Amino acid sequence: MTTAAHRQQLQEFLKGHRVILGPMAGVSDEAMRSLCLAQGADMTYTEMVSSKALSFANEKTRNLLRLAPGEKKVAVQLFGHEPETMAKEAAWVEEFLGDKLAYLDINMGCPARKICGKGDGSALMKDPELAAEIVSKMEHAVDHAVTVKFRRGFFEGEETAVEFAKRMEQAGAAACAVHGRYAQQMYHGKSDFTVIGRVKTAISIPVVGNGDICSGVDAARMFEETRCDSVMIARAAEGNPWIFAQIKAKLQGVEPAPFPTAEQRIDMARTHAELLTHREGRNICRMRKHAMWYMTGLPGASAARGRINECVTLDDFNQVFDELLEKVAQYQKERES
């Protein structure tokens, strides 16, 4: 398939997939994805996958490609900085997932030091020629569209997103996802929506807006202000898969459901923990961070955090959740008296 065909295919695909769960290392596994899909996410990304680890046939890395039950399509985000390795492993991913693969994305936005320090992630924004070579080689190696996710720029105060986006388009990218912070900001400060609008104006391929979408109002504002094709939600979905239902309601002009009650939040946490028990290995321990996100702001949550860090079984988590709900009920009773 030609680059033009990839672009047309992806453009049509994104028209029906406007609200997306973004890739998050150690978070967006198939358990998390299944909950977000149930709440209205149009599609999801896997956790970011190391092309180098795939080249060594690392089984733990390959497990990141497992699909959630009923998951029709998934985008896979690869990271690395070696063009040949990236292209070869992209082709392997395409063969492995078959028609379940939506498209392949290249991580050029992760600001984590352990990623950037190896020349991966947002470090590629400092070397547009190498970044373009990776896009070109991957695009020619696969029959699916190749996209790129990057930030406003690498160095704080030096916006390079527009020129970088143009270079990625020239290299064959079928779409760009833009996060409105600089890499050096990490996740501090505010995401600037206007840079997404500038990228959208500068290129002809679809643009996905990302950063600080924490509500339906935020998503609607990003669409309106930037004219982006889709929006991507990441950290705001941690402990809050309902955000997708809220965004969908806002975009459809209907009244969103009330914010979930303490009971609903804990019920979702129980479901999440149960789903993690079906993954291979000690994946239930991943629930520790998810549990803390679900409990945020609830009466007794601070005291429960220490207990959560000691949980190693589903029963352990459920016991903490039971005790937390008792504290919530007691708190509500005291307020009413």
Inter-axis angle of helices 193-202 and 161-171, to 10 degrees?
40
Alpha-helix residue ranges (DSSP H) falling in 281-313: 287-295, 301-308
Both structure tokens of 15: 């028209």
Beta bridge partners of 182: 153
The sign of the dihedral angle between the CA atoms of 100, 102, 108, 111 is negative
The sign of the dihedral angle between the CA atoms of 269, 272, 278, 279 is negative
CA-CA distance, 320 to 295, in Å (whole number)? 11
CA-CA distance, 47 to 104, in Å (whole number)? 12
Which residues make Cβ contacts (< 8 Å) with residue 38, sequence separation at least 6? 241
**Could you tell me if 47 and 211 are in contact, meaning their C-beta atoms sit under 8 angstroms apart?**
no
Cα 277 vs. chain centroid, distance in angstroms? 22
First CA to last CA distance, the chain:
69
**Could you tell me if 61 and 54 are in contact, meaning their C-beta atoms sit under 8 angstroms apart?**
yes
Cα 298 vs. chain centroid, distance in angstroms? 26
**Could you tell me if 180 and 226 are in contact, meaning their C-beta atoms sit under 8 angstroms apart?**
no
Pairing of strands 101-108, 175-182: unpaired
CA-CA distance, 44 to 39, in Å (whole number)? 12
Both structure tokens of 317: 């988590």
| φ and ψ of 253, to 5 deg | 75, 25
CA-CA distance, 174 to 270, in Å (whole number)? 39
**Residues known to be catalytic:** 110
